[in-house]
Amino acid sequence: MDLSEDLLDALEDMGFEKPTPIQALAIPKALEGRDVVGKAETGSGKTVAFGAPVVDKLSEHRVAVLAIVLCPTRELALQVAEVFEQLTTYKPLRTALIVGGEPMKDQIKELQKGCQIVVGTPGRVLDMVREKWLSLGWVEIAVLDEADEMLEIGFLDDVTEILEATPQEKQVLLFSATFPPPLMKIAEKYLKKPISMGVNKSSKPASTIEQFWMKLRAEDRPDAMIRILDHDEEAITLAFCESRLEVERLAKRLKRLAYPVLSLHGGYDQPVRRKIMDQFRTGKIRALIATDVAARGLDISHVTRVLNYSVPRTLETYLHRIGRTGRAGAKGTAMTFVTPTKQRDWDRMVEQGKLEIKELNADKFLGSGWKKGESLGDSRGRTSRKDAPKASRNDARQSKRTRRPR
């Protein structure tokens, strides 16, 4: 690839020896100045696919904002900014992170120092533009990362207004896992003769992921969650819930039972979210309960089991969730809780994806026949629920809990 020596040295420091498929497709065309529409999912290497040409093409001798990168979540924006910091190790370009949840005055100071690259979330970036702290009049490259997710969580108008604040003659790089109609309208309006590319991602999960599902009542899900946490206390668990409220309820119940879990959703401010992710990445906590939006795009490679506390809305979401485990040939486990009201949706999804998923018997799993340490697959049997007590934390742990004074 026709990349500068400074950038090649930075990529070597980052451990790259050869490009991923999406990088091999996108980087040469982006270097030519072409607008790019790339179909790429988390883990495909797309950040470097757009980051490398951005860094290579920008001039370090100009102090204006020359590139704007928009991301749907604060966590993803932080990760993208960190990649840009690595890519600019040997080229004096400055990157400013502009996201909600942190004091605006600190971010204004970063802009006032002068930077060529701004990475941020649409809401805060637009606030900065409207308040005249951020000028996009010299932007040469605009990047939309995880564009479908930005539209899904309501950033369509913000993204449109931001693009309107940039020069008409600019290069646009758009990366997305899916392309809903509103996103295609943006592409048609703001991209000039774009070249489309994508990597055919298998619609099947990795063969190293062992998949299970269990039909149970909604009120029994916390007990089943406890069984799973007790099954292997050394496992790294990522649990997905449908809403913020569901995340908070489950986390609160598990914390009352002294389980070391944390929750993550869009309601937390940035310092708290960053602290939570640091604890999860470093293994200080071994279970994280999150919404799809909060976990979208996060670089979490050490997860050993994924729990779908709620049935995913689409097959794509299911594959995206369980794809957080079983990476790089490692073994992983995926479990989905299916309540009666979600049975039809689940059956349709399994049929659509032609998935082979083992069913576990909820009575056996929650009952006295279940033994700590046995394989999840050994729980396929049937026990009468009235004779099977619900799961609870072991007596030794319960006895250690201090009673609250009334």
- Statement to judge: residues 273 and 353 lie in one domain: yes
Task: Please give the Cα distance from 68 to 79 (Å, whole number).
Answer: 15
Q: Is residue 399 part of a domain?
A: no
pLDDT of residue 365: 75
Owning domain of residue 93:
5-198
At residue 101, the pLDDT reads 80
Is a pLDDT exceeding 50 seen at residue 138? yes
Whether residues 221 and 353 fall in one domain? yes
Paired sense of beta strands 261-264 and 171-176, if any: unpaired
In this structure, the answer to whether residues 180 and 214 fall within a common structural domain is no
Q: Left, alpha or beta for 154 (phi > 0: left; psi -120 to 50: alpha)?
A: left
Q: Averaged over 357-384, what is the pLDDT?
A: 61
Last residue of a domain, one of 164, 198, 232: 198
Tens digits of per-residue pLDDT, 235-251?
899 999 988 899 999 99
Mean pLDDT in residue range 147-156: 82
Task: Mark whether 254 and 370 lie in a shared domain.
Answer: yes
The 10 Å Cβ neighbour count of residue 168 is 8
Indicate whether 118 and 91 sit together in one domain: yes
pLDDT band at 17 (very low <50, low <70, confident <90, very high): confident
% of the chain residues with pLDDT over 90: 51
233 plus 357 within the same structural domain: yes
Is the pLDDT assigned to residue 401 strictly greater than 50? no
Note whether residue 204 is domain-resident. no
Boundary of a domain, candidates 198, 227, 242: 198
Query: How many helical (H) and strand (E) elements, i.e. helices and strands, does the chain have?
Result: 17, 14
- Give the span between the Cα atoms of 313 and 316, in whole angstroms: 8
Residues 221 and 242 in one domain: yes
| Six token digits for residue 300 | 């979490």
Tell me if 115 sits within 8 A of 54, measured CB to CB.
no
Asked if residue 203 belongs to a domain, the reply is no
Confidence of residue 181 (pLDDT cuts 50, 70, 90): confident
| Model pTM score | 0.64
Q: Which residue has better confidence, 369 or 286?
A: 286
Average pLDDT of 1-5? 91
Which of helix, strand or coil describes residue 94?
A: coil
DSSP 93: -
**The pLDDT value given to residue 391:** 42
Residue 372: CATH number of its domain: 3.40.50.300
Q: What is the rounded average pLDDT of the residues 220-229?
A: 90
Backbone angles phi, psi at 113, to 5 degrees: -70, -20
The pLDDT value given to residue 133: 96
User: Are the CB atoms for 333 and 358 separated by under 8 Å?
Assistant: no
Quote the CA–CA distance of 391 and 256 in Å, as a whole number: 15
**112-116 contacts, C-beta under 8 A, 24 or more apart:** 114/63, 115/63, 115/65, 116/58, 116/59, 116/60, 116/62, 116/63, 116/64, 116/65, 116/66, 116/67
Q: Quick one: average pLDDT of 85-107?
A: 93
pLDDT at 403: 37
Asked whether residue 313 falls in the same domain as residue 371, the answer is: yes
Look at residue 392 and tell me whether its pLDDT is greater than 50.
no
Same domain, 71 and 25: yes
Residue 406 lies in a domain: no
Let me know if residue 400 belongs to a domain: no
- Distance between CA 223 and CA 201 in Å, rounded? 35
Q: How many domains does the chain have?
A: 2
Asked whether residue 184 falls in the same domain as residue 40, the answer is: yes
So what's the pLDDT on residue 393?
42
CA–CA separation, 238 and 298 (whole Å) = 12
Instruction: Provide the pLDDT confidence category of residue 296 given band limits of 50, 70 and 90.
Output: low
Of residues 328 and 319, more confidence is placed in 319
Residue 394 has pLDDT above 70, yes or no: no
Rg (C-alpha) for the chain, rounded Å, is 23
CA 398 remoteness from chain centre:
35
Q: How confident is the model at residue 376 (pLDDT cuts 50, 70, 90)?
A: low
Which residues have CB under 8 Å from 350's CB, separation 6+? Answer: 357
Residues 118, 43 contacting (CB under 8 angstroms): no
- Most confident of the ranges 140-144, 236-240, 258-262, 366-370: 140-144
- As a whole number of angstroms, the longest Cα–Cα distance in the chain is 75
pLDDT at 397 over 60: no
Nearest CA among 151, 138, 141 for reference residue 119 = 141
Residue 226's H or E segment, with its range, is helix 221-231
Residue for token digits 């883990």? 43
Distance, CA of 201 to CA of 320 (rounded, Å): 11
Report if residue 398 sits inside a domain.
Answer: no
Q: What is the pLDDT of residue 299?
A: 60
Decide if 256 contacts 227 (C-beta within 8 A).
no
Contacts of 387 by beta carbon, 8 Å cutoff, 6+ apart: 367, 368
Residue 401 falls inside a structural domain: no
Most confident option among 111-120, 227-236, 366-375: 111-120
Of 290, 102, 310, 312, the residue nearest 205 (C-alpha): 312
Q: CA–CA distance from 82 to each of 207, 330, 392 (Å)?
A: 31, 26, 42
